[in-house]
């Protein structure tokens, strides 16, 4: 278990405030990674996908610049090990599960703040499945799948957590690779006229992308400065830690530093940020008069809960969810996150076909 340190008031405040900002922007921007990937094949709409690319472009440049000037200390950004089988299998399962659940990890969490009862049950199922995989009976399966690792290089120079530029010569090629990747993303993203129109309520698509990228950059710095680990935004591990902190008083973090909050509970900075997400979404929804308690039919609730269980297992195996891999991890251009994101998309599109497209064809 992670080291426990005495907490400061700023650890508490910065974690919750970061979550509030993130939840507020997600609600105002009507943004969910499930919709971003799903809409490409379901309704031929790439708007939210382009928002993701815009946010990611900002995050890639900002995160790597901050790393290079030493703002994250000697450890730098947190790139995950390239566990190729786990990244593929876990990502694919997570992608299928989020379609069933009606939202990605952060999507179901922020919609609690809008009053969706189904999102509350999805978050509970997501958390239970994560805990069962990180700490319970599914842990051996997770560890088996994570046992297939790929390194780049040989001997003492071998890298277990490689980035894309390590395929093209290492650090010397870093900013060339970043320039090419970001240029391609921006060209495609900005062709979508993200700044052309403003909705009646909420944020313009382009503004949503800019704010999401900026909040991720802030979260990377805040999680390092106050949380002790450059973790940024994620929904998988932090949701498990938040659930354990709430119900057991101890996040049982595996890697991140935990803090003793004056003898009341032991938790991580990231667990606090998760708690802030529905608060921020609630503040936004109330401001727009959009908060309303909504309860779905029983069969929909069962489908959502089942999907959330798949999400939790898949995210734990893959090493992250859409936010953890497709935004934070992709901002570091880690090969593990690139692989997991691609298979999250494939899993999403597979389930979209069987749940929506095939029934319409039949």
Q: What is the pLDDT of residue 225?
A: 95
> Across the 362 residues of the chain, what is the mean pLDDT of every consecutive 10-residue run?
85 97 97 95 94 98 97 92 97 98 95 96 97 97 95 78 93 96 96 84 94 98 95 94 96 90 95 98 96 92 96 97 95 97 98 93 79
* pLDDT for res 156: 66
C-alpha span between 66 and 76 (Å, rounded) = 9
Gap between the Cα atoms of 239 and 251, Å rounded: 10
* Spatial distance between the Cα atoms of 26 and 195, rounded to a whole number of angstroms: 17
Instruction: Give me the pLDDT at residue 232, please.
Output: 94
Report the pLDDT value the prediction gives residue 335, as an integer from 0 to 100.
97
Q: How much is the pLDDT for 1?
A: 60
pLDDT of residue 332: 97
pLDDT of residue 158: 75
> Global pTM?
0.95
Report pLDDT for 100. 96
């Amino acid at each position: 278990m992670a080291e426990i340190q005495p907490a400061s008031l700023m650890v508490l405040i910065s974690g919750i405030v970061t979550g509030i900002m993130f939840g507020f922007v997600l609600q105002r921007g009507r943004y969910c990674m499930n919709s971003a990937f799903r809409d490409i094949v379901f309704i031929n709409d790439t708007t939210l996908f382009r928002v993701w690319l815009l946010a990611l472009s900002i995050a890639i440049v900002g995160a790597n610049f901050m790393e290079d000037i030493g703002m994250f200390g000697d450890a730098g950004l947190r790139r995950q090990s390239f566990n190729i089988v786990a990244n593929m299998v876990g990502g694919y399962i997570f992608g299928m599960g989020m379609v069933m659940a009606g939202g990605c990890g952060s999507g179901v969490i922020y919609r609690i703040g809008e009053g969706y009862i189904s999102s509350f049950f999805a978050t509970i199922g997501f958390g239970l499945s994560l805990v069962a995989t990180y700490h319970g009976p599914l842990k051996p399966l997770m560890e088996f799948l994570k046992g297939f690792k790929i390194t780049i290089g040989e001997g003492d120079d071998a890298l277990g957590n490689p980035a894309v530029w390590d395929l093209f010569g290492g650090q010397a090629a870093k900013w060339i690779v970043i320039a090419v990747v970001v240029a391609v993303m921006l060209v495609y993203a900005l062709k979508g006229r993200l700044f052309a129109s403003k909705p009646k309520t909420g944020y313009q698509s382009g503004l949503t992308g800019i704010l999401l990228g900026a909040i991720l950059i802030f979260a990377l710095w805040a999680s390092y400065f106050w949380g002790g680990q450059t973790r940024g935004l994620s929904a998988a591990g932090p949701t498990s830690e938040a659930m354990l902190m709430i119900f057991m008083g101890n996040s049982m973090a595996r890697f991140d530093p935990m803090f003793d909050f004056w003898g009341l509970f032991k938790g991580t900075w990231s667990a606090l940020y998760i708690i802030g997400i529905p608060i921020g979404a609630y503040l936004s929804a109330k401001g727009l008069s959009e908060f309303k308690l909504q309860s779905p039919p029983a069969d929909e609730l069962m489908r959502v809960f089942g999907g959330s269980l798949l999400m939790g297992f898949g995210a734990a195996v893959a090493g992250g969810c859409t936010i953890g891999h497709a935004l934070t991890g992709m901002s570091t251009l880690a090969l593990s996150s690139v692989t997991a994101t691609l298979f999250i998309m494939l899993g999403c599109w597979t389930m979209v076909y069987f749940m929506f497209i095939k029934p319409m064809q039949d």
